[in-house]
Amino acid sequence: MPVQQMRLLVDRGVPAADRLTPAGARILAAASTLFYEQGIRTVGVDAIAAAADVTKKTLYDRFGSKDRLIAAYLEHRNRVWHEFLDEQLAERAPGSPEEVVLALFAALTDWLAGSRNGCGFINASVELAAPDHPAMPVIVGQKQWMRSEFEAQARLAGMADPGELADRLLLLHEGALVSYRVAAMANATEVAARAAADLLAGWPRLGAGDTVTS
C-alpha cells in the first residue's frame, strides 16, 4: 500500500511555537501544569507567577493577559498532542487507513496514562463559556481536525458515507475522554477502541461504480 496511506492526511494547521524568553518558558510550563491539574478558573496569575519564579508584571509583559496565557497553554498542548500522535504512528506503523484510525484510538490509552484529568481541551471548553475567548479556536480546531482526519481515512478506505462514519468515530473518541474523566471509567479508551474496530469492520464499502455520498 502506498506510503501516504499510512500517514495522517489532513493539514493540522498547528503553528510553530513562539520563541520565548527563559522566563516566558517557565511561565508557560507552570501555567500548563497548574491549568491542567487544578483548572483554568481556579488558578490565578499569582500562583502561576510564583510557580514560575517571576513577577506578575513579567507574566503580563510576556503574555499580555491570563486569557492569552490560557490560549498559549492550549496551543502548546495541541503541539505536544500532535507530536505524540506522530510518535505513536511511527511505532505502530499502520498499513491501511483503518489501522490509522485504530492507531488514533489506541494512542489515547498511552496519552492518558498516569493522568486523572482527561482531555485538557474538553476541560477548557467547559470552563471557558465565552465563544469569543482567544482559546476557543484552538479547542474547536483540535476537535474539528480529528473528525476531518477520520473522514479522510474513511474516504481513502473506500467506506460508504465517510462523513457519517467520521461523526460516529468522533463520538466514540470524545465519549471515551469524557467517560474517563467524569465517570472514572479507567478502561474507557480501550472500550472505545474495540467499538471503533467493530464499527469499521461492519461499515459498508463502496462497490464498483458507487460514489461517495459525503
In percent, the amount of the chain with pLDDT more than 70 equals 94
Q: Count of CB atoms within 10 A of residue 207's CB?
A: 8
Whole-angstrom distance, CA of residue 109 vs CA of residue 107 = 5
pLDDT at 208 over 90: no
Pairwise pLDDT comparison (114 vs 112), residue with the higher score: 112
CA 169 distance to own-chain centroid:
14
Of the candidates 19, 122, 23, which has an alpha carbon nearest to the alpha carbon of residue 74? 122
Task: Say which residues have a Cβ less than 8 Å from residue 2's Cβ, sequence separation at least 6.
Answer: none
**Positive or negative CA dihedral for 141, 142, 147, 148?**
positive
Query: Could you tell me the pTM of the whole model?
Result: 0.91
Q: What is the H or E stretch that residue 56 is in?
A: helix 56-63
- Amino acid occupying residue 153: Q
Q: What's the distance, Cα to Cα, between the start and end of the chain in Å?
A: 24
Mean pLDDT confidence for 171-197: 94
In this model, does residue 209 exceed pLDDT 70? no
